[in-house]
Structure 1
Amino acid sequence: MFLAINEIRHSKLRYTLVMGVMFLIAYLVFFLTGLAYGLAQDNRTAVDKWNADTILLAEEANDNLNMSMIPLKTFDKVKADQKAYLAQTAGVIKGDNGEKIDVSFFGIDKDQFLAPKITSGKMFDSDGEAVADLSLKEQYSLKLGETVKMAGNDKTLKIVGFTDNAKFNVAPVLYTTLGAYQEIRFETQGTSENTRINAIVTKGVVDSVPKDLEKTSIKNFINELPGYSAQVLTFGFMIGFLIVIAAIVIGIFIYVLTMQKSEIFGVMKAQGISSRYIAISVIAQTFLLATVGVVIGLVATVGTAFVLPDAVPFQVNSLFFIAISLLMIAVALIGAFFSVRTIVKIDPLKAIG
């Protein structure tokens, strides 16, 4: 460690460049990880709020919530520890300023477990009221008591409450009654005979499932959300390749620096300093450079998160960031072992000339 630190002090510019490269790669990896996690969460936070075990969809819907159509009377045929119906549709609302906002409507029963926890305001009481995701307040300045109009029909909803972390397919959710959902999607009041829902969500043991319904775990349901798995895999491969690239870059830098110092290492060997001591110094040097670069990248990423606009789906996940930090440092150390092999093979007599 003594040799590693003193060498860094002696060649500040050279090793600052190495740390700079590590910092830039680490910053890019952390930023992409935050974006990937944020986008993934924006697809599923409303589903996670259910804390449910399974979801029942129409058999022919191919696990697609929007394509599933179930008669409301089927709800009574399902026997489960806890159950709740869900009607969902995408839509567009217009606030008082006329701005158009893409949202997802959830038609629910406020007395069932799908009802969200209210952070401000109150739960809806009628077909003309709704509870909105907090992002509509933070990003679009919608306020309690404000009335929003549906784009495409004359239905209006009054925002009476807000809840947090309620997004579905990257769109903020508006919770309202089943009757309001009928008006929004089918432009009709609906009756008990023709009312349709999209799914039945359950907790605990499900004893009876009608033959025209298919039971799916919440985990599989999330993975089947349009674009969710492809998005997660794409970002996963990008982050993985960047980590590998970081290891290769650091490995090349350390190897080149090692080759440039082969004569010095030869003299050290001739003086009786073991190859093991020199190799440990190189590995310690790599550890210091990688750690400092990764830590600075991590701090810069967290700092960036505070200045990003609310519209950017960036979220910090401490567990992910710590795991990636350790992985990048570990992979950089693996790359440094190529330099160790070179040090072991250095002949003191040839190196001195």
Structure 2
Amino acid sequence: MFSLSLKEIRFYKMRYLLIGFILFFVASLVFIISGLAGGLSSDNASSIQNMDVHAFYLDKGAEGRIDRSRIDVSSNTFSPGIEPLNLQMRSLEKEGTDQTVDITVMAVQPDGFLMPNVTDGESFKSGDASVTADITLQKEGIEIGDRLYDEQFDKVFTVAGFTEQQTFSHTPAVFMNIDLWNDLVPENQKNKVNALVMVEDNQKLREIVKSEVEGGNWVSKDEVIGGIPGYQAEQSSLYMMLAFLIVIAVFVLAAFFFIMTIQKMNEFGVLKAIGAKNGFLIGSTLFQVLILSLVSIGTSVGFTALLPNLLPEDIPFVFDINLILKFSGVLLIVSLAGALVSAANIVKADPLTAMGRAQ
């Protein structure tokens, strides 16, 4: 079986090469769209995605949207494993210039589990108005030591360092001391936070927070991510495109192999006349499809892995090998399923008719 399949591929090189190219392009398009979906997801929600936490306590009326949640925590003592988080989108002006940058302020405890690792410079300090920003601000010309002016608070913040993969709603996150935030906000906003965050699942802590802070409920991290403005719309649109691509791949590959088997009806009939069984011929065809699929999909995985080096820096793209392997498996199954459609033609091949044609 294997020998016959390989000999036929070598003999009809151009035919199989064209089918391989089609599968390569379809697979590459699937992988590229999945990478763009992952890139947009990260650019929209990486600050929440990268928090190593379990759940968020939000205002019931916020419907899972952390940016709309406001909780009064004046009566809460913040048990170990629970930390407050304040979050607000703002525009800051680089001091000495007319440049304005849109950012999301995240006010956290300096040494808490919500504070990300600093990759360049240092973390903000407790006693001054320093902040730690996502490194994407460097693309807008912001460097360590630069001063950012907040017109609403009439306050200047100094960039002390940078962190990575900390964005919210497509804006870089800027981390500051939550005590500094409370000093800046109006009196009626003091002791109010967007969320209380639990680092590990603990039913006792859940009940303590609910008893001390009324009007809220616990939601999962995935629900908070889904509540970020625009997140669901972006991801739903891209994954709908992926679904249609896979469906199209089924029909395209099924049509190609169906036409190919029709063209080989005479050959199948002759092989049956000399003793070949339907199972052998179907297995040989599936083996050809398996070889083509593995080579084409494997090549497209390699191409997609190199693609981030070719794309402009402002296009978010994430090469998630686990997701790519899942889609590779789906495409492989789709290819084999499409080839099985042609099995009916193989069964219909008539040895007597084929021998008559051969004469």
Report the counterpart of residue 280 of structure 1 in structure 2.
283
- TM-score (structure 2 length as normaliser): 0.88
Map of 2:222 onto structure 1: 219
Aligned to 2:170: 170
8 Å contact 2:66–2:227 — kept in the other structure? no
Q: Deviations over 1:114-168 (max 9, x none)?
A: 122111211112452110112223x334221122334766433211011122112
Same amino acid, percent of matched pairs: 27
Asked if the contact 1:179/1:189 (under 8 Å) is kept, the reply is no
1:128-277 → structure 2 map (5 Å cutoff):
128-137=129-138, 139-150=139-150, 154-178=154-178, 180-181=180-181, 188=184, 190=186, 194-204=190-200, 205=202, 206=205, 207-208=207-208, 209=210, 210-277=213-280
Note if contact 1:42-1:170 (Cα within 8 Å) is conserved in structure 2.
yes
1:19 Cα deviation from its structure 2 partner: 1.0
Counting only pairs closer than 5 Å after superposition, residues 118-133 of structure 1 correspond to structure 2 as 118-125=118-125, 126-133=127-134
**Residue 307 to residue 74, structure 1, CA distance change in 2 (3 Å):** farther
Change in Cα spacing, 1:194 to 1:321, as seen in structure 2 (3 Å) is: closer
Aligned to 2:28: 27
How far, CA to CA, are the matches of 1:350 and 1:181 in structure 2?
86
- Paired residues, what number? 346
1:99 deviates by 4.2
After TM superposition, the structure 1 = structure 2 runs for residues 89-104 of structure 1, keeping only pairs within 5 Å, are: 89-95=88-94, 98-104=98-104
1:3-22 to structure 2, matched below 5 A, reads: 3-22=4-23
Q: Match for 2:317: what amino acid?
A: F
Partner of 1:334: 337
1:63 maps to 64
Measure, in 2, the Cα distance between the counterparts of 1:112 and 1:255: 62
> Counterpart in 1 of 2:74?
73
Is 2:67–2:88's contact at 8 Å kept on the other side of the alignment? Answer: yes
Other-structure match for 2:108: 108
Structure 1 residue 247: Cα displacement = 2.2
Structure 1 letter corresponding to 2:253 = I
1:267 CA displacement: 1.6
Q: 1:28 & 1:151 partners in 2: Cα distance? A: 45
- The SS at the match of 1:211 is coil
TM-score of the two chains, using structure 1 as the length reference: 0.89
Q: Is the 8 A contact 2:182 2:190 kept in 1?
A: no
| Letter of the structure 1 residue corresponding to residue 135 of structure 2 | L
- Structure 1's unaligned 5+ residue stretches are none
